[in-house]
Amino acid sequence: MKEKIYRDSDVDLAPLVGKTVAVIGYGIQGKAQAANARDSGVTVIVGTRPVEESPSRQQAEADGFPAYSIAEATKLADVLLIELADPVQPPIWKSEIAAHLSPGQTVCFCHGFNVLYGGIQPPKDVNTVLFVPNAPGHFVRQKYLDGEGIYGCVAVDHDATGDALAIALAVAKAVGSTRAGVVEMSFQHETEGDNFEEQILYGGAIQLMKLCFQTMVDNGYPPSFAYAKAIRSLRSVIDVMDDVGIEEYVSRRCSRTAEFAIRTRGPRVVNEEAIREIFRETERGEFARDWMQEWALGMPMLHRMRRTAAESQMEKTGHEWRREFGK
């Protein structure tokens, strides 16, 4: 069965008319969604941590939004957009949100992580939904200003009022995603799909770029040339494939030498069983468990990895490359 794609013409903003939407967390994504929703005619307020803990309160006020404590914003809102980072959501939920919810409110998450894994358990008398645009906040904002939108997804975990899906879709329209297209899925698929993508595509692609660079340098290639091949070439190829499709690029938009390399050597680079095992680990919740343990310990492994990466030859070459050859 063909999946339903919701466009602007399929979705009504009526569920948000006369309602107050509170954006909880004013980081890159929260800032973009707040601005887009306001420009769509929605009444938007912002809930942040105290000024002494976060500069986002002052930033929200400077951007023209009424800004409140998270607890006060929760009381005032009909719809809450939870735009906080995954690890900080549970303690803030317990201390500032849960006790101030009212029956009939809608809590819209930016990621299903904490609902799926039990870090947050919303009461049954509120709607629990999510809306996720498939891009960082600055792209979400820029596309909206350009009259376009970013593909996104919505999901309903609990429908207390009978119109939870309509509310989630209205949020998606207010942010601009229905201009491109929005699909409905489950909290499980959104969360596990996002986590899988981050491990395989982000993690895998970055490792490939690092290994490509280091192998060439170790074998006598100039670092600037290796950097151009490892990162700049991939960037241009991705742009073309996104525009015309993978097979069109491989068959018609690259050299025949490149096509032969892609079709005969590419599969040797990828460990299919490792990818499938990471998928199974993600489904079993092992990635989520490991990440929450790392966060609880103060991220010692990530801090160590950051220091090592920042001091690498590839990073130093990248800084020099951008200075010499531009972005």
Query: How many Å apart are CA 89 and CA 85, to the nearest integer?
Result: 6
- Structure confidence at residue 235 (pLDDT): 81
Instruction: Give the residue-averaged pLDDT of 137-147.
Output: 96
The residue from 111, 158, 303, 319 that is catalytic is 111
Q: Distance (Å, rounded) from C-alpha 28 to C-alpha 78? A: 23
Cα distance between residue 215 and residue 284, in whole Å: 35
Instruction: Convert the pLDDT of each residue in 270-290 to its tens digit.
Output: 999 999 999 999 999 999 999
- Stretch 133-160: mean pLDDT: 96
Q: For residues 37 and 253, what is the distance between their CA atoms, to the nearest angstrom?
A: 39
Query: Closest Cα to residue 152, out of 187, 124, 177?
Result: 177
The first and second tokens of residue 137, run together, are 């906040």
Structure pTM? Answer: 0.89
Taken in order of first residue, the domains within the chain and their CATH numbers are 5-185 (3.40.50.720), 190-325 (no CATH)
33: alpha, beta or left? (left if phi > 0; alpha if psi -120 to 50):
alpha
Split at pLDDT 50, 70, 90, the class of 234 is confident
Mean pLDDT of 20-39: 97
State yes or no: pLDDT of 324 exceeds 90. Answer: no
Q: What is the mean pLDDT of the chain?
A: 94
Write the CB contacts of 281 (distance below 8 Å, at least 6 apart in sequence): 287
Give pLDDT, residue 1. 63
What are the Cα distances from residue 292, in Å, to 78, 86, 165, 179, 325? 30, 9, 30, 35, 40
- Cβ neighbours of residue 183 closer than 8 Å, sequence gap 6 or more: 3, 4, 5, 6, 153, 154
Residues of the chain with pLDDT > 90, as a percent, come to 90
100 is catalytic: no
